C-alpha cells in the first residue's frame, strides 16, 4: 500500500501541472480576453466647452459614403455619446423623413473625430439620404450639441437591386416566383410589392412573358371590375405576343373572358389549353367555374373533379385544387348528394392532413349530417388539426358527444353529456350548429326537453336564430323556428327585433321566412320606426313591395 503512494502523488502532481498548462487555453476559449484597443485620450488641456465643430460626408475610393463628426467633450456630463444620423426620405413627395442612426460610441474627453459609414437604408420607397447630422448627448435628455450638413445621396431602389442581382445570376424565374408568392397572400400591401417587382423586371427584360401574366393577376385582384378585367386582358395579350404558346396566359385569359360574359371564347381557350397537359390546375377550376356560371352543373362538377383527382402540387397551383374542392362541395350540396360530399370531405382531409380545418370539417359533417358520432370522434383522434381554430375543434368534439348522448343509454349517456359540456356548454352557437341539419335537430329537441333554453343569448347578446339570420342560413333559421325560436326576440347591444336582421341585410328569402312566421313588418317597430319606413328612406321599391304588397311604388 505504501509503495503505491509515491506513484499516486506523482500522478496527482502531473494532473495539476497539466491543468495549469491547459488553463490559459481554456480561459481563452470560454472567457475571451477583454478589449485591449487603446482608448484615445486627450493629452493636452480639455476643451472649455462641449460642441461639434464640423460634420463632413465623403465618398471613399471603394464607393462607400463615410461621415465624420469633429467634436469637443469636456468629460461632463458623464456617459455622453457621440452619434451620427442620416435623414432618409422617400422618392415621392409627401412622405415624412426618418432619422436613421448610422452609428454611435462613448464620447472621449478632448477634441476628437468619429467616423462611420453612411449605409443604404434598404427600406422600400425610403432610399434618399437628404442630410447627415452629428449629435452629442446623454439620452434621454435633449442633445448637448447637434450639427447637420445637407448631403443628398440617391440610393438605388432595393427592389431594383434585387431584380438586377437576380438577373445577373440568371435567376429571372426567382423574381417571378417571389411575385407569385406575394400575390397568393391576397394582401393589399404585398400585391403592390409584387406589382413593383414585376414592373421592374419588365423594365429590365421586356420579353419576360411570365411577368405580364402575373401583372394581369395583380390587376384583377386590386380592381375586380370591368376596368380591371380589361387591363388584365391587355396584359395577357402582351404575354401571348411574346410567347404565343404560353399555357398560363391562355388559362388566365379564359377566366377573364368568362367574367366578361364571353363564355364561348372562354371555353374555346380552355379546350385549346387542355390539349397539352400541364401543372396549371386552374384550367380545370376556371373551366368548372365558367360552366357553373351558365347553369351547366353536371359539366361543372366534372371539370372540378379533374382538378381534385390530380395529386396536390404544394405550390401556387394547389390553390386551384382548394378552390375546386370548395366549389365542388357547394354544387354537391345543391344537388343533395350527401354521399358525394362525405367522400369528398374525406379525400380533402387526407390530401391536406394536418392543414387547416379540413379534418374538422369532415368530422362535423359526420356528426351533423350523418349523426355518426363514433365516426366523427375517430376522425378527430386520427387526423389532428393543430392549425384549425381551437374553438372550432372544441365545438365539433362537443357536437359528437352531444349526438352520442342523444343516442345512448345509461350509464354511458351521462358520461357523454358531461364530456360534451366540458368542451362546449349549451349555448346559442351549439343550438345554431345543431339546427343546421335535420339529422342533428333531435339532439336540440332533447336538450330543450332537459330544460335548456332556446332563447339564451351569448356575450354578443345574440341567440341562435339571430346567428342564422345574420349568416343568411334560411334552412337553419326555419328549423330553429320549428323548435320555438322567437323572431321578435330583442338581440344585440341595440336590442333590435331579430326579424329586422334580414331587412337590413336585404335578404329577401329571410324576409319571406319571417313573414311566414307571422311577422307583420308594417307593425314591427324599432326605435319608433318600422321596416316600411326604413325601405322608404332607402328608396328601395323592391324591398318595400316585399315588406308590404299594399305599399305600391315609392
- Name the burial class of residue 386, with classes exposed (0-12), middle (13-18) and buried (19+) by CB atoms within 10 angstroms of its CB: exposed
Question: Which range marks the domain in which residue 4 is found?
Answer: 1-33
Do 150 and 215 share a structural domain? no
Reduce the DSSP state of residue 53 to 3 states and report it.
strand
In whole angstroms, what is the distance from residue 159 CA to residue 165 CA? 10
Asked if 191 contacts 218 with a C-beta cutoff of 8 angstroms, the reply is: yes
Question: Does 414 reside within a domain?
Answer: no
Q: Is 96 buried (19+), middle (13-18) or exposed (0-12) by CB count in 10 A?
A: exposed
* CATH, residue 62: 2.60.40
On whether both 134 and 257 belong to a single domain, the answer is no
Question: How many CB atoms are located within 10 Å of the residue 248 CB?
Answer: 23
Closest to 344 in 3D by CA, of 318, 325, 364 = 325
328 pLDDT band, cuts 50/70/90, is very high
Q: What total of structural domains would you count in the chain? A: 4
Where among 279, 298, 325 does a domain terminate?
325
Helix (H, G, I), strand (E, B) or coil at 58: strand
pLDDT at site 127: 76
> Cα–Cα distance between 530 and 523 in angstroms, integer?
7
CA dist 530 and 214 (Å) reads 50
Q: Tell me the average pLDDT across 28-54.
A: 58
Q: Cα separation of 127 and 89, whole Å?
A: 6
Alpha-carbon distances, residue 216 vs 199, 269, 354, 414 (angstroms):
12, 17, 33, 59
* Residue 213 in domain: yes
Whether 203 is in a domain gets the answer: yes
| pLDDT at position 410 | 80
User: Within this chain, do residues 209 and 294 fall inside the same structural domain, yes or no?
Assistant: yes
Does residue 389 sit within a domain?
A: no
Cα→Cα distances 6→302, 404, 439, Å: 94, 82, 92
Q: Report the phi/psi class of residue 74: left, alpha or beta, with left for phi > 0 and alpha for psi in -120 to 50.
A: alpha
Domain boundary (112, 133, 155) is at 155
Same domain, 121 and 268: no
Q: What is the mean pLDDT of the chain?
A: 89
**Residue (of 68, 147, 69, 74) closest to 110 by Cα position:** 74
CA dist., res. 440 & res. 447, Å (int): 11
Say whether pLDDT at 108 is over 60: yes
Read off the pLDDT of residues 65-92 as tens digits, 9 standing for 90 and up: 999 999 999 999 999 999 999 999 875 5
- The conformation of residue 549, written as its DSSP 8-state character, comes to G
171 and 319 housed in the same domain: yes
The answer, yes or no, to whether residue 518 has pLDDT greater than 90, is yes
Residue 265 sits in the same domain as residue 299: yes
Terminus-to-terminus CA distance in the chain, angstroms? Answer: 120
pLDDT for the residue numbered 453:
97
Which is it for the CA torsion 154, 155, 158, 163, positive or negative? positive
CB 289 within 8 A of CB 306: no
Q: Which residues pair with 89 in a beta bridge?
A: 128
Query: What angle do helix axes 263-274 and 247-259 make, rounded to 10 degrees?
Result: 160
Last residue of a domain, one of 307, 325, 343: 325
Predicted TM-score (pTM) of the model is: 0.74
Q: At residue 504, does pLDDT exceed 50?
A: yes
Report angle CA 38, 44, 50 to the nearest 5 degrees. 90
Do 67 and 135 belong together in one domain? yes
Number of Cα atoms under 13 Å in the Cβ half of residue 201: 29
Task: Answer whether residue 378 is part of any domain.
Answer: no
Helix (H, G, I), strand (E, B) or coil at 476: helix
Q: What is the predicted pLDDT for the residue at 554? A: 35
- 357523454: which residue's cell? 416
Q: What is residue 277's predicted lDDT score, i.e. its pLDDT? A: 84
**Same domain (yes/no): 208, 187:** yes
Structural domain includes residue 462: yes
Answer whether residue 406 is part of any domain.
no
How confident is the model at residue 26, as a pLDDT? 31
How remote is the C-alpha of 341 from its chain's centroid?
28
CATH of the domain at 519: 1.25.40.20
According to the model, what pLDDT value does residue 16 have?
36
> What's the pLDDT tens digit per position in 184-208?
999 999 999 999 999 999 999 999 9
| Integer Cα distance of 314 and 517 in angstroms | 49
Model confidence pLDDT, tens digit, residues 135-191: 999 999 999 999 999 999 988 877 888 899 999 999 999 999 999 999 999 999 999
Question: Do 171 and 297 belong to one domain?
Answer: yes
Cis peptide before 115 (omega within 30 of 0): no
Residue 498 has pLDDT above 60, yes or no: yes
Do 55 and 199 lie in a common domain?
no
What are 274-315's pLDDT values in tens digits?
998 889 999 999 999 999 999 999 999 999 999 999 999 889
Q: Quick check: 127 and 157 in contact, CB under 8 A?
A: yes
Report the pLDDT value the prediction gives residue 24, as an integer from 0 to 100.
32
Residue 11 CA to residue 1 CA, distance in Å, equals 16
One domain for residues 134 and 164? no
DSSP H/E element including 319:
helix 318-335
What are phi and psi for residue 378, nearest 5 degrees? -65, -45
Per this entry, what is the length of the chain? 554
Statement to judge: residues 183 and 121 lie in one domain: no
pLDDT digits (tens, 9 = 90+) for 338-390: 999 999 999 999 999 988 999 999 999 999 999 999 999 999 999 989 999 99
Alpha carbon distance 249, 240 (integer Å):
7
Q: What is the DSSP letter of 126?
A: B
Q: What is the CATH number of the domain that holds 171?
A: 1.25.40.10
Residue 233 in domain? yes
Q: What whole-number distance in Å separates Cα of residue 172 and Cα of residue 163?
A: 8
Q: Is the peptide bond before 411 cis (omega within 30 degrees of 0)?
A: yes
Amino acid at each position: 500500500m505504501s509503495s503505491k503512494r509515491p506513484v499516486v502523488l506523482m500522478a496527482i502532481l502531473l494532473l495539476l501541472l497539466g491543468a495549469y498548462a491547459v488553463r490559459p487555453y481554456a480561459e481563452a476559449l470560454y472567457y475571451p480576453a477583454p478589449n485591449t484597443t487603446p482608448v484615445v485620450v486627450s493629452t493636452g488641456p480639455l476643451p472649455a466647452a462641449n460642441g461639434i465643430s464640423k460634420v463632413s460626408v465623403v465618398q471613399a475610393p471603394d464607393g462607400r459614403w463615410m461621415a465624420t463628426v469633429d467634436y469637443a467633450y469636456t468629460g461632463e456630463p458623464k456617459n455622453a455619446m457621440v452619434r451620427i444620423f442620416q435623414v432618409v426620405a422617400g422618392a415621392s413627395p409627401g412622405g415624412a423623413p426618418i432619422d436613421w442612426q448610422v452609428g454611435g460610441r462613448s464620447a472621449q474627453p478632448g477634441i476628437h473625430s468619429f467616423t462611420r459609414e453612411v449605409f443604404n437604408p434598404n427600406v422600400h420607397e425610403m432610399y434618399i439620404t437628404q442630410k447627415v447630422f452629428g449629435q452629442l448627448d446623454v439620452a434621454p435628455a435633449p442633445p448637448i450639441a447637434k450639427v447637420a450638413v445637407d448631403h443628398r445621396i440617391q440610393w438605388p431602389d432595393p427592389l431594383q437591386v434585387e431584380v438586377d442581382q437576380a438577373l445577373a445570376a440568371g435567376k429571372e424565374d426567382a423574381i417571378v416566383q417571389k411575385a407569385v408568392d406575394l400575390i397568393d397572400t391576397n394582401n393589399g400591401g404585398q400585391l403592390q410589392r409584387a406589382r413593383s417587382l414585376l414592373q421592374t423586371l419588365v423594365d429590365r427584360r421586356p420579353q419576360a412573358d411570365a411577368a405580364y401574366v402575373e401583372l394581369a393577376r395583380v390587376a384583377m385582384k386590386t380592381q375586380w371590375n370591368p376596368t380591371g378585367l380589361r387591363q388584365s386582358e391587355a396584359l395577357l395579350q402582351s404575354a401571348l405576343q411574346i410567347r404565343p404558346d404560353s399555357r398560363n396566359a391562355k388559362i388566365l385569359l379564359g377566366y377573364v373572358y368568362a367574367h366578361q360574359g364571353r363564355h364561348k371564347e372562354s371555353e374555346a381557350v380552355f379546350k385549346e389549353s387542355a390539349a397539352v397537359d400541364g401543372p396549371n390546375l386552374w384550367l380545370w377550376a376556371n373551366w368548372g367555374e365558367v360552366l357553373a356560371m351558365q347553369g351547366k352543373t353536371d359539366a361543372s362538377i366534372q371539370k372540378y373533379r379533374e382538378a381534385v383527382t390530380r395529386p396536390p402540387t404544394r405550390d401556387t397551383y394547389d390553390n386551384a385544387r382548394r378552390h375546386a374542392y370548395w366549389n365542388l362541395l357547394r354544387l354537391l350540396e345543391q344537388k343533395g348528394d350527401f354521399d358525394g360530399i362525405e367522400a369528398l370531405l374525406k379525400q380533402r382531409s387526407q390530401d391536406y392532413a394536418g392543414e387547416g380545418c379540413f379534418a374538422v370539417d369532415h368530422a362535423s359533417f359526420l356528426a351533423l349530417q350523418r349523426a355518426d358520432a363514433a365516426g366523427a370522434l375517430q376522425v378527430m383522434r386520427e387526423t389532428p388539426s393543430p392549425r384549425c381554430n381551437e374553438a372550432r375543434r372544441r365545438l365539433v368534439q362537443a357536437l359528437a358527444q352531444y349526438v352520442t348522448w342523444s343516442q345512448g343509454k345509461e350509464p354511458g349517456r351521462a358520461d357523454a353529456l358531461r364530456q360534451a359540456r366540458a368542451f362546449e356548454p349549451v349555448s346559442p352557437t351549439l343550438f345554431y350548429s345543431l339546427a343546421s341539419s335535420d339529422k342533428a335537430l333531435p339532439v336540440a329537441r332533447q336538450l330543450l326537453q332537459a330544460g335548456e333554453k332556446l332563447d339564451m343569448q351569448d356575450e354578443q347578446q345574440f341567440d341562435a336564430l339571430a346567428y342564422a339570420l345574420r349568416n343568411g342560413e334560411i334552412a337553419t333559421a326555419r328549423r330553429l323556428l320549428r323548435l320555438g325560436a322567437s323572431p321578435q326576440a330583442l338581440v344585440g347591444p341595440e336590442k333590435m327585433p331579430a326579424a329586422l336582421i334580414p331587412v337590413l341585410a336585404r335578404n329577401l328569402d329571410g324576409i319571406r321566412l319571417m313573414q311566414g312566421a307571422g311577422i307583420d313588418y308594417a307593425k314591427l317597430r324599432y326605435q319608433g320606426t318600422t321596416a316600411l319606413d326604413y325601405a322608404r328612406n332607402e328608396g328601395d321599391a323592391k324591398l318595400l313591395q316585399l315588406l308590404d304588397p299594399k305599399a305600391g311604388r315609392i
